[in-house]
Every structure is written in structure tokens, then in C-alpha cells.
Amino acid sequence: MATLGLSEAERESIERFERDVIQPSMSAIVILDFWAEWCGPCKQLSPVLDKVAQDYAAKGVKLAKIDVDQEKMLAAQFRIQSIPTVYAIYRGQPVADLTNYRSEAQIKKVLDQLLGQLKIEPEGATPETEVEPLIAMGEQILAEGDAPRAVGIFRQVRDMAPDNAEVIGGLVRALVKAGESVEARSILDELSQDQAKKPEVARARAALEVATAAPAAETPALESRLAINPDDHEARFELASAKMAAGDRDGAADALLEIIGRDREWNGGAARRRFLQLLEAHGLEDPWSSAQRRRLSALLFT
């Protein structure tokens, strides 16, 4: 805003607007509420906005209020015709008109959409661009088989981004590979319901369940039982679990598919559930998992 020819009061008004609205909006969404003391609807909406701003403060949302009677110049700049008028401001520009949203749920829904679209980081969060390369490094080292080193990397990254689902999932899977299943389960048990629903966390949980389904037992006795009776599904299921625990995913998949091919409904579909769990543990988009899904489809639909 130009300040030439303005009174001292108007200059101070602009300075406050720069300080309270423009500057914070460079890195956060500012809910800008135009109101007046005599306005009944304004007084009804005010506590709702206060509550929303408080709940979303850590997500990158702030609240600023402008009394149209005290700040006539600012109200004129925004062409305020009626109050309350409420805008969402980002990088100095209105990005949404919130005026018609009067309930807490409605306003939060719009803010959630804006936060996702604008990719605003929560206050104090490590920028995603700093975390992504470290996650990729941890995943590469884990894929190469150095689980203890991967654990160390993911621990450091989690210190930077404690709520990042990719980091949590990577750390849990690394702990499972390193034989630290107790700690892996402890981390999963401490997560909120929202975090637990994330695909990256679900994959990590599946990896833990696959690894702890059965001890990496000797298999000759189970193979002997199957040689005598190929329809001993219990023995084959135990064999699949033992192979999973030993890291033999191909052998485990073969055994489970064999059960499904012979009796897909055995034990309430236990073999199919375990097979899908095995795929999830390795990542549903992994080429190996895709190939195994095709094997399952061919078995079920031919």
C-alpha cells in the first residue's frame, strides 16, 4: 500500500497490517476477520474463529482481526460492504472467502483443503525437501541389507520429522529387519489412530506381523509331512510362516499359493490373508508384489 499523503494514524494502521497480516502470511494462512463492536453476527462468529485458529496454530494458521470502525482505510481497500467478512490470506493475497462458513467444521474443512493445496509446513517443521533425500538414503541402505545402519539413519530423520509417516514406516521396517521387533511394535503402538491409518505405517505393521508370524524354524519336518500328505494345509501354512521369518519371500509365496490353489477357503481364507499381508509388507507397488498379485489372480480366476 502506498503511504504518500497519509496521516500518522493511517501510516500506523498500514504498519500494523504489514506486521500482523502480510508478514505472517508469507509462511502461514492468515484468517482475516473484518468485524465491528456493534455487529451481532460478528460476535457469534468470533469465538468460532478463535477456536479454529487455536486448533490449527501448529499447522500454519493464524488469525488477525480488523475493526472496520477503527480501520476505515483498510476496510475501504478491501471494499468491505458488509460484516462479518472473512478471508484466508496467503503470501499477501486472498486465497479464499470464508465469509459464508459459520461453523467450526465448515471452516476447518476449507482450511484442510487450503493447507493441502498450498503445501504449507506446520510451524517449526523441517521442510519436506530436506527430509526426502534422507528417506531415500535410508530406503536404499535398507534394500541393500544393512538394516542396523538404516535404523540409525531413520532415527536421525525422525528427530527432524517426528510425524512423517514415511519416516515412521521406514524406521519400523528397518527395526524389523535388524531383529528389533519389540521396539518396532512399541513405536507402532504409540501412534495415533490417524497415523496408524497411513499406508506407509500399514506396510510397516504388515512387515512386523510377517516377520513375527512364526520363528525361523527348521523346515525338514514340515516338508516330510507334506511329502506324506500334500493336503496337510496346516503344515504348509507353518512352512510358509517359517520361510517368511527366514526372509524367503519366494518360498513363502509359493507355499501360500499352493494352499489357495488346493483349498482357497481353508481356515477361513487364512492363506490368502497371509499372502496379501506378505505383499503389503514388501510394498504393494513393488515389482515383486505386482508379479505375485498376477499369480494370485491367475489362480483365482482361471
86 classed as catalytic: no
- DSSP, collapsed to helix, strand or coil, labels residue 90 as strand
Average of pLDDT values for 146-152? 93
Q: Which of 42, 63, 213, 252 is catalytic?
A: 42
Condensed to tens digits (0 to 9), the pLDDT of residues 175-195 reads: 998 989 999 999 999 988 888
Condensed to tens digits (0 to 9), the pLDDT of residues 19-54 reads: 999 988 888 899 999 999 999 999 999 999 999 999
Average of pLDDT values for 270-276? 91
261 classed as catalytic: no
Q: Which of 37, 47, 34 is nearest to 99 (CA)?
A: 34
Q: Which of 21, 32, 39, 147 is catalytic?
A: 39
Distance CA 293, CA 158 (A): 32
pLDDT at res. 2: 46
Distance CA 151, CA 177 (A): 9
- Global pTM value: 0.53
pLDDT at res. 123: 57
Q: By CB neighbour count within 10 A (0-12 exposed, 13-18 middle, 19+ buried), where does 81 fall?
A: exposed
Distance CA 273, CA 79 (A): 61
